[in-house]
Amino acid sequence: WKKLYFAHHWPVTVCKMNANDCHDPPKYWTIHGLWPDRAEDCNRTWHFNVTEIKDLLSDMRHYWPDVLHSSLNRTQFWKHEWDKHGTCAATLEVLNSQKKYFGKAIELYQHVDLNGCLLRAGIKPSSSYYKMTAIKEALERFYGVTPKIQCLPPEEGEKAQTIGQIEFCFTKELQLVNCTAPEGGSNPVQAHLKLGTSELSVCDDTLPTYYPSEVQ
């Protein structure tokens, strides 16, 4: 693999996509995952063990919660992310254990500070719409790179898309880089985004964009 996608998702949109056990989703961007760009389930024998990240648990529950399931003791989401992506990312020395992988993701989250950046740009959850180009410009101005922004397309009768996920790309040296689509156009990370029946896709620059403050 060549680069890492560091995905943040907006819990309110995740809940909108999947009305199951979503109670009172966090009103801040949380971690979805840290994904090598071309890898999946790299080492099936390296099992997730929550005791290895016990020192990180309070941070994990805050920054990387399982938005769809409210039980705090549930670790399936982290197990899935480790099995599918962490075991691949572990070819890098800085990510070569569960503690390093999850700990580094939390460190990157605090370093990126997406919540703070959007607030400083005056972009906050609202019942009115944003222009996607304004959101993109704010992020590019702040980070100096182009992230990948994904939305829930408008439902029947709606005119606006709903922002759902923002991915930042990092080199193997953990430097921010542009998230331009790989040549050939197929993006292996896309497969992740089937939550429930709806799917996120790259946002349309021309559509009004909803950044919801609560699950409708």
CATH of the domain at 123: 3.90.730.10
Domain that holds residue 110: 4-211
Query: What would the mean pLDDT of 154-169 be, rounded to a whole number?
Result: 94
Question: How confident is residue 19, by pLDDT bands cut at 50, 70 and 90?
Answer: low
The answer to whether residue 216 sits within a structural domain is no
The answer to whether residue 122 sits within a structural domain is yes
The answer to whether residue 121 sits within a structural domain is yes
- In 3D space, the residue among 9, 29, 32, 27 whose CA is nearest the CA of residue 152 turns out to be 9
The answer to whether residue 111 sits within a structural domain is yes
What does the alpha-carbon distance between residue 187 and residue 172 come to, in Å, rounded to a whole number? Answer: 18
Query: What would the mean pLDDT of 148-169 be, rounded to a whole number?
Result: 94
Number of separate domains in the chain = 1
The answer to whether residue 110 sits within a structural domain is yes
Between the two ends of the chain, the Cα-to-Cα distance in Å is: 39
User: How confident is the model over 23-47, as pLDDT tens digits?
Assistant: 789 999 999 999 999 888 899 999 9
The answer to whether residue 193 sits within a structural domain is yes
DSSP classification of residue 185: S
Across the chain, mean pLDDT equals: 90
Global confidence as pTM = 0.92
As annotated, the active-site residues are: 32, 81, 85
| HSE-CB for 180 with a 13 A CA cutoff | 4
Question: How confident is residue 20, by pLDDT bands cut at 50, 70 and 90?
Answer: low
The answer to whether residue 47 sits within a structural domain is yes
Within 64-148, residue ranges assigned H as helices are 76-81, 87-89, 98-112, 114-120, 132-143
Query: What would the mean pLDDT of 169-181 be, rounded to a whole number?
Result: 93
The answer to whether residue 70 sits within a structural domain is yes
